[in-house]
Amino acid sequence: MRYLLRRVAVLLVTAWVAVTVNFALPRLMPGDPASNMMARYGGQLSPRALDALRIDFGLDTHQSLPGQYFSYLGQILTGNLGMSYTYFPATVSSMIRQALPWTLGMVGFATILAFLFGIGLGMVAAWRRGSAGWHRNSRLDTALVPTGVMLSAMPPFWLAMMLVYFISYKLGWFPIGGGIKPGLSKSSSAGLVDIARHSVLPAFTLTLVAMGGWILLMRNSMLTVLNDDFVKFARAKGLPNRSIAYRYAARNAILPIFTQFAMALGVVVGGQVFIEIVYSYPGIGYLLLTAVYNQDYPLMQGIFLIFTLTLLLANFLVEMLYVFIDPRVRVEAGK
């Protein structure tokens, strides 16, 4: 219980820091969002309408900085992220709410897939290298390491463009971009099939790009564990190889990687930005790009905040999960 409370406290403090950073960033930067907005509506609005707009956008310059800060905190607590410049009069939170399910579905699926494949391949590579003949080189390991390195050095947007060109455009197997055929209802079965068809290539790209890191991490973690005494003991006892690999070594090798999976989940929510851009996938990464191109600062800030909070939450959940999967943490937490 104490453990849980401490974790929640850390979560809240970091969330507060993240929100504050988000408040400070645009104010530290050169250029002032208020005058940007003036330029956008330049000359077409009466001064009174402009004043009203500024207050709507949270750019009330009559307020002092601490005053702005506290009203910002209050707004965020009530879930109000302000108005979008570009999609005015839509609010930032409504724009994010529209885009989020797309990203969560496609990216969540691809991340878990990449994790499972990467962990599996890394495990087998390490095991083959260290197994039976002890430190015998295996062809699989020799091939998998450069593959993993190459996958993690792949520019995601470039891979996406190549796949669009050769698979969608030349072969016509999948749609060129977008999330769903215009006019189809998202809840109809034909709509769902179409969404799936649009998501195959983005998800495939993301899985490939994200997998490389997992292969390398798991392989190295597993090799380290294979040097441990308890593995040698299991060997000496004459346990079958398969059971040493999967029931003893792999379970311990996954533990340190799990922390990074949490980071990856959060990072991936942002890391797919480039992939969404190339596929014009209507998710949150694509929305971020629209915000950037239109200098839509409230929307940018809102999206950044969502990314940060997702990452925090993912970390928190994994730490909670740790209590269940690692008995050592459980003992510590019980204290």
Q: Does 269 bind another protein (CB under 8 A)?
A: yes
Considering only 34, 161, 167, 184, the residue that binds another protein (CB under 8 A) is: 161
Considering only 307, 318, 322, 333, the residue that binds another protein (CB under 8 A) is: 307
Q: Candidates 23-31, 79-87, 95-103, 245-253 — which segment interacts with another protein by CB under 8 A?
A: 23-31
Query: 199 near 106, Cβ under 8 Å?
Result: yes
Complex with another protein: residue 32 or 51, whichever CB lies closer:
32
Q: Does 266 bind another protein (CB under 8 A)?
A: yes
Q: How many Å apart are CA 16 and CA 72, to the nearest integer?
A: 12
| Least Å from the CB of residue 185 to another protein | 30
Per the document, the length of the chain is 335
Q: Which of 69, 108, 126, 123 is nearest to 264 (CA)?
A: 108
Task: Write the CB contacts of 169 (distance below 8 Å, at least 6 apart in sequence).
Answer: 176
Q: Write each residue from 211 to 240 as x if it is in contact with another protein (CB under 8 A), else as -, in one continuous string.
A: -----x---x--xx--x-------------
Q: Does 29 bind another protein (CB under 8 A)?
A: yes
Alpha helices in the chain (DSSP H): 2-28, 33-41, 47-56, 65-77, 92-130, 139-152, 156-163, 189-226, 229-236, 241-243, 250-271, 273-278, 284-293, 297-325, 327-334
Tell me, what DSSP letter sits at residue 31?
S
Q: Which of 296, 294, 320, 298 is nearest to 82 (CA)?
A: 298
Considering only 106, 245, 311, 333, the residue that binds another protein (CB under 8 A) is: 311
Q: Does 152 bind another protein (CB under 8 A)?
A: yes
| Least Å from the CB of residue 170 to another protein | 9
Q: Does 158 bind another protein (CB under 8 A)?
A: yes
Q: Does 252 bind another protein (CB under 8 A)?
A: no
Considering only 73, 192, 292, 321, the residue that binds another protein (CB under 8 A) is: 292
Task: Report cis status (omega within 30 of 0) of the bond before 146.
Answer: no
Please count the residues of this chain forming the interface with another protein, following the rule CB under 8 A: 57
Could you identify the residue written with the tokens 């750019």? 59
Q: Candidates 79-87, 160-168, 233-241, 246-254 — which segment interacts with another protein by CB under 8 A?
A: 160-168
83 φ/ψ angles, rounded to the nearest 5 degrees: -100, 150
Q: Candidates 26-34, 57-65, 106-114, 236-244 — which segment interacts with another protein by CB under 8 A?
A: 26-34
Q: Candidates 71-79, 91-99, 111-119, 287-295 — which segment interacts with another protein by CB under 8 A?
A: 287-295
Q: Which residues of 186-211 are buried (b: 16+ CB within 10 A; e: fewer)?
A: eeeeeeeebbeebbebbbbbbbbbbb
| Least Å from the CB of residue 149 to another protein | 4
Q: Does 26 bind another protein (CB under 8 A)?
A: yes
110 φ/ψ angles, rounded to the nearest 5 degrees: -65, -40
Considering only 39, 150, 193, 331, the residue that binds another protein (CB under 8 A) is: 150
Query: 194 near 180, Cβ under 8 Å?
Result: yes
Which residues lie near another protein (CB under 8 A)?
14, 17-18, 21, 25-26, 29-31, 135, 137, 145-146, 149-150, 152-159, 161-162, 164-165, 169, 216, 220, 223-224, 227, 263, 266-267, 269-271, 273-274, 277, 288-289, 292-293, 295, 300-301, 303-304, 307-308, 310-312, 315
